[in-house]
Amino acid sequence: MQSKENQQCCEKFKTMIGGQALIEGIMMRGPEKDAVVIRGKDGLSIEVSDRKRNPPGSFKTWPFFRGVFNFFDAQVVGVKALMRSAELAPEEYQEEPGKLDLWLEKHLNNEKFQKLFIGLSVALGIGLSVALFFLLPMVVSSAFDRWITDTLGLNLLEGVVRMVIFMGYMLLVSRMEDMKRVFAYHGAEHKTIRCYEAGLPLTVENVRAQTRLHPRCGTSFLLVVMVISILVFSVASSALLKAVPSLEAMRGSFPYRLIMIAFKLLLLPLVVGVTYEINRWVGRNDNSFTRALAAPGMWMQHFTTNEPDDSMIEVGIEAVKAVLPQKEGSDRW
């Protein structure tokens, strides 16, 4: 008999509905609506908002461009949902407010200040991620550019350092007590979507039987970003050195390292755009090749998801129901 972790979901179709775990809740995004569902002391709090859609023909819907815009949009919506979940979460999950918290609470009612705060939060979050998972590996690997003159070899070293940092970070976060419940809600989100894609009634029993791993998870996306960056950085760096021969003569110097690091950072939007298109293609196709591509990301989800209890599954069910489209099947991936 297969374990729940190895149990395959019998998909009848693939949905574009996806979400994010919050503090005692889940944020779910559908083709027409977004929903934040929080389990508070008075039961479930369900807040639904209309989803802004890009008009047909907009450059935000163009291949490669859409990945970058969707990534930033997800960060903004995610920060808003986290702020809201912090407000609605039960008191036992809320810390005693300090002076900064009280000051923010007072000023966040102002719409302009709220937009500024969200913008700064998104910028800080992305900036820290770039610094930890990209800038730091670049700095570490650049110290070896005097001995490793092959561009591919240097970028492979950088990729290995990046993967070690990423996996170490995930392992440490997964062991934090406060994050274990968040990751359980992440598991509830995946299980509920799996149940919906299998065409089963959204009941606690049906959802509980599903695997908590899902190929179209954000964890998989981040992992593919890191792999694709090795290829993109290698090809682009080689092209740059051929186009500017004087750079090769500077190899090993501090200015050379700064130029190469800045060049790679400028390529990150391209990496995100390419990764989005690959994940989109993998998500739409189910064969041995796409399953092999999705396997590393699925494995990483053992660290970023936990088995949820029934109360968490109930939150996932309500979150999915809240964003189902009016026309059945219009949320097909």
User: Quick one: tokens of 285?
Assistant: 């196709």
Q: How far is CA 250 from CA 96, 241, 257, 260, in A?
A: 55, 10, 9, 11
Mean pLDDT of 163-183: 91
Of 15-29, 209-223, 306-320, the range with the lowest mean pLDDT is: 209-223
What pTM was estimated for this model as a whole? 0.85
pLDDT tens digit sequence for 127-154 = 999 999 999 999 999 888 878 878 888 8
Closest CA to 25 of 170, 189, 180: 189
Mean of pLDDT values over 240-252: 88
**Per-residue model confidence (pLDDT) at position 29:** 95
pLDDT in tens, 174-225: 899 889 999 999 999 999 999 999 999 999 999 999 999 998 888 888 888 8
Task: Tell me 317's DSSP state.
Answer: H
Q: Where are the alpha helices (DSSP H) in the chain?
A: 65-88, 99-107, 111-130, 136-142, 151-174, 177-197, 204-208, 218-243, 245-249, 254-266, 268-284, 288-304, 310-323
Q: Which of 292, 314, 324, 327 is nearest to 16 (CA)?
A: 324
**pLDDT for the residue numbered 6:** 40
Sign of CA dihedral 302, 272, 266, 114: negative
C-alpha closest to that of 251 among 150, 136, 161, 138:
150
Instruction: Find out whether 34 and 22 touch, Cβ atoms under 8 Å.
Output: no
- Residues 51, 170: Cα–Cα separation, whole Å: 31
d(CA 96, CA 77): 26
Cα four-point dihedral sign 58, 64, 70, 72 = negative
Q: With bands split at pLDDT 50, 70 and 90, how would you rate the model's confidence at 96?
A: low
- Cβ atoms 20, 27 nearer than 8 A: yes
pLDDT tens-digit readout, 49-94: 988 777 767 888 888 899 899 998 998 898 889 888 888 877 655 5
Long-range contact pairs involving 47-56 (C-beta distance under 8 Å, separation at least 24): 47/84, 48/322, 48/323
CB 108 within 8 A of CB 117: yes
How far apart are the C-alpha atoms of 58 and 71, rounded to whole Å? 16
Query: Among all chains, which residue has been given the structure tokens 């196709």?
Result: 285
Return the amino acid letter for 290: T
